[in-house]
């Protein structure tokens, strides 16, 4: 353990908030965002989040946004207010309880006082404590540490404080009943848990709190035969049988330490099994442990659990109100102390540590004491062997290669050179197989099965590559998990065709490994991919062959290039491909020619540069991305203002490495292929922006789409807009969520005025634009013949007099056709002006007025322009405009005369059945041109559905109808199905999300699915159709006559038919099941 606990307590309040946000369905999530914009609801006490940042955000990023704008308590107060408004009563009760808990100010004095009062001890308890003390000390003595390993031991007083903090992490005196110690391998989770047991057994801690403490090793007990909880606890008892009844009588004073949860297999059908409270019921051991974890067995006991971080989510789903305590291992100070004590020379140690710090990946690995030993041991041996050894040329992988080669260069093993390749292959096979199945402890039979020689095993134990497991005499594990990860990666570099999991050949298994590792944030998979690429470095491959007698696969790079070619057909963004980690892996190879080849296939990338490592690897790789056409780049690292830096060692000026790296990053902008660039959420200084703009002016720059949302400081945008002056290639510019000041606005106007300007799409949402600036903008658009789309959403335009804007005679060249004024505080009076403008210009084809309080009077005025014979409007968005049934009457009358309007969005308005009836008067006419109608969340019932069904019988034009979040129930669906079965029905998309449907409606829907020739998309998300309802649907979906291509279904219901869906795909079906209803055209998303 380190000299400091380095414990981080994960706040369960924040975890709970994230679970709430993730639990909201799509309509609820949208309502939550809308409520965040309500000054009446939040009483104006909180800073408002820009709507442009909110409207398309997912739950995880919404969580981050809330943390950015509000304090912890404010977040909960805001969330409670919104949930109350949404009638989420059960969540509101939980949040109120949390707020009460957070308000407690009592510290842990009660706990400390409690520790000073030791109760009278019985004979059973005394003998048990002696037994546990002996057990823990024996386990500690059995841990084989390398001879030259430095142990940084805590003083007893500090250890006691650490251990107390585990039981009182919230500092309120409230006793957490379940504590989870999570962290990477080797950082001290088990050590800390063992110390808790030891200090209790020695009588130093927890005497008043716990009468008995039980230590259960998941690895040791998982091979046990079926037993009872009583039998499991009797294992450590001095006598053959524990006094179970005495133990049961003080269940609230029991502590169960469950070590190594990651070793346990999850029992099948745990949720379906009846609860168990019987201490004497015979069960498989893993089921006993899971009943303990779920607090069904011994519910009043305290649990202290250790786990590697990749099993944390399993525990979150299993435990009741857990506290997660992250064990971070060595602090920076601990690492420095370790290096100084290991090398004995402070200056040498600090130079080495300075280099290790620059290798951020390796420095992070060194939080584990055994990795510190590995690095120090390797460097010491390399420096002794080679006086010219250069730290600057080393990578993380090279250190591990030299560590193994140094050890085996001197070891004496009675094994021929011809036998070594097979032995290495066997060891690496064992490591890789273990990684696939999360197996980190191996029995003797596992080693024999892989044909590892006894002499080799003995050497691996002596060299501290393997070690015996302290609580299992016949088992071994790798001394640190990074050894297993490294050897597992090495398996895929060595010769041989056979994979490690018994299925596909090795090169196919390697592709699966990389796809998983680069689409997963799991630390061990990421580390394995890093080592795999690092082993491609030519001198390291030679070292493996020369020193370790390994045989490296000569085709390994060709196989990787084949994998890279396949990435072209892989949707990298939607599959959460970890571009930054991919670049880090390529940087680890240091093989520029190979990197150039493999990146020649990369078409898009998504990068966050927030430190030196990210800048370094991005610059190394981006300059080779000559085919890249789409890049999202968020920069938060510091780019130096000075081009030269002063070297203290040589007393010379030299180019600053970061400047060169930033220039390499910017060089990709002029690769001749980059069409889309997103710099949102970047923090850039003027110098970095000038370098960037220099490349944007390059004649080879072919950039067409540029997004710069929430860029700081805003003043640097002036430089950017100036660089775009006269650029005839740029067609899309998004500067939303920037508080544009007058100089920047002026530069935008100047750019629009340039004769070469070809800008067609312009977003200026949430930019704090004043009415005066907006008027100037419209005036500039009069002289611009290119801009066809303009979005000014979330700017207060209530003071802009639209009627004062130029008419058709004054703007003969303007091509503006699409205008979004969403959430611009427009009222009915604004509609009067808009009507005049639409009537005079006669060019606007799309108009979004959503999230404005237009009300019925506003729509009445707006409809005057819809009836104009020259009206060109095709799409009208009026979502959440506080409309009622009268608006539908005005719209219906207008639709009878208007022949251009094809899309109408009335979502989130209180139209009710009466309003739907008015609309249906127009819909029932065969010549009504409407094709796409959104009536979701409009407060109507099955009666409204009956009206829609009657109207659709006479209308051959409506193709898309969304009526989700209305209480139409099964009767409403029945009415619609009668129409959908008609051979002349044109409807291809039907939205029925959250309509209170039951399995009874599935029979009607099945009839439609079997017969409809038009229906392609059906959204049934948020309805409790139950397995029997889905089974009914599936019988129709399997029919060859079914044309459906997309079905929205709850995830738990999808799992029922997952295998059958795969069979359908094999037979050529195009059906896809979606858990979230998505938009195919993101650019079109806010229009429809």
At 39 the pLDDT is: 73
The long-range contacts involving 507-515, CB below 8 angstroms and separated by at least 24 positions, are: 507/559, 510/559, 510/563, 511/563, 511/566, 514/563, 515/570
Q: Are 86 and 35 in contact (CB under 8 A)?
A: yes
- The sign of the dihedral angle between the CA atoms of 123, 128, 133, 134 is positive
In the numeric block, the tokens 């498989």 are attached to 284
Distance (Å, whole) CA 95 – CA 92 = 5
Q: Read out DSSP for 345-391?
A: -HHHHHHHHHHHHHSHHHHHHTTSHHHHHHHHHHHHHHHHH-TT--G
How many Cα atoms within 13 Å fall on the side-chain side of residue 415?
A: 22
Q: Are 696 and 702 in contact (CB under 8 A)?
A: no
Cβ burial, residue 523 (10 Å; 0-12/13-18/19+): middle
Cβ burial, residue 209 (10 Å; 0-12/13-18/19+): middle
Distance (Å, whole) CA 741 – CA 748 = 11
Distance (Å, whole) CA 804 – CA 837 = 9
The long-range contacts involving 716-719, CB below 8 angstroms and separated by at least 24 positions, are: 716/684, 716/685, 716/686, 716/689, 717/744, 718/743, 718/744, 718/747, 719/686, 719/689, 719/690, 719/693
At 652 the pLDDT is: 45
Buried b (16+ CB within 10 A) or exposed e, 269-302: eeeeeeebeebebebebbbbbbbbbbbebbeebb
pLDDT tens-digit readout, 191-209: 889 988 988 888 888 887 8
Q: Are 454 and 488 in contact (CB under 8 A)?
A: no
Of 667, 671, 615, 606, the closest CA to residue 640 belongs to 615
At 316 the pLDDT is: 84
Beta strand 472-478 with 604-609 is unpaired
Euclidean distance between the first and final Cα of the chain, in Å?
Answer: 58
Q: Going by C-beta distance under 8 Å and a sequence separation of 6 or more, which residues neighbour residue 916?
A: 888, 935, 938, 940, 944, 947, 948
Q: Are 215 and 259 in contact (CB under 8 A)?
A: yes
Distance (Å, whole) CA 400 – CA 664 = 30
Q: Are 923 and 952 in contact (CB under 8 A)?
A: yes
Distance (Å, whole) CA 333 – CA 877 = 59
Percent of the chain at pLDDT above 90? Answer: 35
Give CA torsion, residues 120, 121, 122, 126, to 10 deg. -170
Distance (Å, whole) CA 703 – CA 1065 = 39
Residue 551: phi and psi, rounded to 5, are -115, 110
- The DSSP output letter for 637 is S
pLDDT tens-digit readout, 934-952: 999 999 999 999 999 999 9
Of 765, 847, 836, the closest CA to residue 801 belongs to 836
Q: Are 361 and 396 in contact (CB under 8 A)?
A: yes
Query: Which residues of the chain have a pLDDT value below 50?
Result: 1-5, 105-119, 155, 170-174, 644-655, 807-809, 812, 1079-1088
Buried b (16+ CB within 10 A) or exposed e, 124-155: bbeebbeebbebbeebeeeeeeeeebbebebe
For residue 776, the tally of other CB atoms under 10 A from its CB is 17
Distance (Å, whole) CA 863 – CA 854 = 12
CA-angle at 679, arms to 677 and 685, nearest 5°: 130
Beta strand 302-308 with 466-469 is unpaired
Give CA torsion, residues 53, 59, 62, 64, to 10 deg. -130
Structure tokens at 721: 């807009």
Strand partners, 302: 255
> What is the value of pTM for the model shown?
0.83
Distance (Å, whole) CA 548 – CA 404 = 8
Distance (Å, whole) CA 590 – CA 922 = 68
CA-angle at 540, arms to 336 and 457, nearest 5°: 80
Distance (Å, whole) CA 479 – CA 110 = 41
CA 381 to the chain's CA centroid: 41
CA-angle at 997, arms to 992 and 1003, nearest 5°: 95
Q: Going by C-beta distance under 8 Å and a sequence separation of 6 or more, which residues neighbour residue 1026?
A: 998, 999, 1053
Residue 691: phi and psi, rounded to 5, are -60, -40
Q: Are 640 and 594 in contact (CB under 8 A)?
A: no
């Amino acid at each position: 353990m380190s000299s400091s606990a380095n414990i981080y307590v994960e706040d369960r309040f924040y975890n709970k908030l994230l679970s709430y946000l993730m639990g909201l369905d799509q309509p609820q999530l949208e309502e939550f965002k809308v409520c965040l914009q309500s000054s009446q609801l939040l009483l104006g006490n909180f800073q408002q989040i820009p709507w442009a940042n909110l409207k398309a955000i997912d739950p995880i990023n919404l969580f981050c946004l809330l943390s950015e704008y509000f304090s912890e308590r404010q977040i909960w107060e805001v969330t409670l207010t919104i949930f109350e408004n949404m009638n989420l009563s059960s969540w509101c009760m939980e949040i109120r309880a949390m707020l009460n808990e957070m308000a407690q100010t009592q510290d842990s004095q009660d706990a400390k006082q409690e520790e000073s009062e030791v109760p009278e001890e019985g004979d059973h308890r005394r003998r048990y404590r002696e037994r546990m003390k002996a057990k823990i000390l024996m386990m500690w003595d059995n841990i084989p540490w390398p001879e030259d390993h430095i142990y940084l031991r805590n003083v007893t007083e500090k250890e006691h404080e650490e251990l107390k903090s585990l039981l009182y992490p919230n500092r309120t005196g409230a006793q957490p009943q379940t504590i989870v110690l999570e962290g990477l391998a080797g950082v001290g989770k088990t050590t800390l848990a063992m110390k808790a047991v030891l200090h209790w057994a020695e009588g130093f801690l927890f005497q008043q709190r716990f009468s008995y403490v039980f230590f259960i090793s998941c690895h040791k007990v998982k091979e046990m035969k079926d037993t009872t909880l009583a039998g499991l606890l009797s294992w450590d008892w001095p006598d053959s049988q524990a006094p179970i009844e005495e133990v049961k009588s003080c269940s609230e004073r029991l502590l169960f330490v469950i070590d190594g949860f990651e070793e346990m297999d999850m029992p099948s059908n745990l949720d379906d099994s009846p609860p168990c409270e019987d201490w004497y019921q015979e069960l498989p051991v893993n089921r006993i442990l899971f009943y303990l974890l779920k607090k069904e067995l011994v519910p009043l006991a305290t649990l202290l659990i250790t786990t590697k971080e990749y099993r944390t989510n399993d525990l979150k789903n299993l435990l009741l109100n857990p506290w997660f305590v992250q064990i971070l291992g060595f602090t920076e100070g601990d690492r420095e102390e370790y290096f100084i004590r290991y090398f004995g020379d402070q200056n040498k140690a600090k130079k080495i540590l300075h280099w290790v710090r620059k290798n951020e990946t390796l420095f992070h690995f060194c939080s584990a004491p055994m990795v510190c030993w590995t690095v120090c041991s390797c460097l010491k041996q390399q420096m002794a062997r080679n006086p010219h050894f250069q730290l600057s040329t080393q990578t993380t992988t090279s250190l591990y290669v030299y560590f193994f080669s140094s050890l085996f260069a001197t070891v004496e093993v009675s094994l021929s050179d011809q036998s070594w390749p097979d032995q290495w292959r066997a060891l690496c096979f064992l490591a890789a197989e273990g990684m696939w199945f999360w197996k980190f402890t191996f029995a003797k039979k596992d080693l024999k099965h892989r044909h590892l020689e006894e002499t080799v095993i003995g050497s691996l134990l002596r060299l501290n590559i393997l070690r015996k497991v302290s609580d299992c005499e016949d088992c071994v594990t790798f001394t640190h998990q990074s050894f297993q990860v490294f050897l597992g990666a090495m398996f895929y570099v060595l010769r041989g065709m056979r994979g490690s999991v018994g299925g596909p050949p090795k090169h196919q298994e390697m592709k699966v490994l990389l796809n998983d590792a680069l689409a997963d944030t799991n630390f061990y998979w990421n580390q394995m991919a890093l080592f795999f690429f690092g082993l491609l470095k030519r001198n390291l491959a030679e070292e493996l062959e020369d020193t370790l007698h390994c045989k490296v696969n000569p085709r390994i790079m060709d196989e990787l290039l084949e994998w890279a070619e396949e990435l072209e057909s892989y949707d990298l963004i939607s599959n959460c491909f970890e571009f930054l980690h991919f670049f880090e892996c390529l940087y680890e190879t240091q093989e520029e020619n190979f990197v150039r080849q493999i990146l020649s296939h990369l078409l898009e990338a998504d990068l966050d540069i927030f430190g030196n490592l990210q800048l370094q690897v991005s610059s190394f790789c981006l300059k080779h991305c000559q085919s890249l056409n789409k890049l999202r780049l968020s920069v938060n690292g510091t780019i130096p203002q000075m081009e030269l830096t002063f070297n203290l060692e040589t007393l010379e000026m030299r180019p600053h490495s970061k400047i060169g790296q930033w220039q390499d990053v910017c060089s990709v902008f002029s690769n001749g292929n980059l069409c889309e660039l997103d710099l949102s959420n970047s923090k850039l200084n003027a110098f970095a922006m000038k370098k960037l703009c220099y490349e944007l002016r390059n004649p080879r720059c072919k950039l067409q789409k540029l997004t710069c949302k929430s860029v700081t400081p805003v003043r640097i945008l002036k430089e950017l807009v100036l660089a775009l002056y006269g650029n005839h290639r740029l067609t899309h510019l998004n500067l939303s969520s920037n508080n544009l000041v007058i100089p920047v606005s002026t530069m935008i106007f100047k750019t629009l005025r340039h004769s070469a300007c070809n800008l067609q799409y312009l977003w200026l949402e949430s930019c704090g634009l004043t009415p005066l600036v907006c008027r100037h903008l419209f005036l500039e658009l009069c002289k611009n013949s290119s801009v066809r789309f303009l979005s000014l959403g979330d700017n207060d335009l209530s003071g802009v007099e639209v009627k004062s804007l130029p008419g058709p005679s004054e703007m003969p060249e303007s091509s503006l056709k699409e205008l979004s004024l969403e959430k611009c505080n427009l009222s009915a009076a604004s509609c009067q002006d808009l009507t005049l403008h639409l009537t005079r210009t006669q060019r606007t084809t799309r108009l979004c007025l959503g999230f404005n309080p237009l009300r019925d009077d506003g729509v009445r005025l707006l409809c005057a322009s819809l009836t104009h014979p020259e009206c060109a409007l095709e799409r009208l968005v009026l979502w959440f405009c506080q409309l009622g049934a009268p608006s539908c009457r005005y719209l219906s009358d207008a639709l009878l005369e208007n022949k251009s309007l094809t899309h109408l969005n009335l979502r989130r308005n209180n139209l009710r059945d009466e309003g739907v009836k008015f609309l249906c008067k127009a819909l029932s006419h065969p010549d009504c041109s409407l094709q796409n109608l959104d009536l979701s969340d409009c407060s109507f019932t099955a009666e409204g559905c009956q009206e829609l069904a009657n109207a659709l019988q006479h209308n051959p034009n409506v193709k898309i109808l969304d009526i989700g979040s209305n209480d139409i129930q099964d009767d409403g669906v029945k009415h619609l199905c009668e129409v959908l079965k008609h051979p002349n029905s044109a409807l291809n998309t039907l939205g029925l999300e959250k309509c209170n449907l039951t399995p009874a409606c599935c029979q009607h829907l099945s009839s439609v699915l079997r017969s409809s020739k038009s229906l392609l998309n059906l959204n049934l998300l948020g309805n409790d159709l139950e397995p029997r309802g889905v089974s009914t649907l599936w019988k129709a979906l399997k029919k060859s006559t079914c044309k459906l291509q997309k079905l929205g279904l709850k995830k738990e219901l999808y799992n029922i038919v997952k295998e059958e869906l795969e069979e359908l795909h094999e037979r050529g079906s195009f059906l896809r099941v979606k858990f979230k209803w998505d938009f195919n055209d993101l650019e079109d998303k806010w229009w429809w």
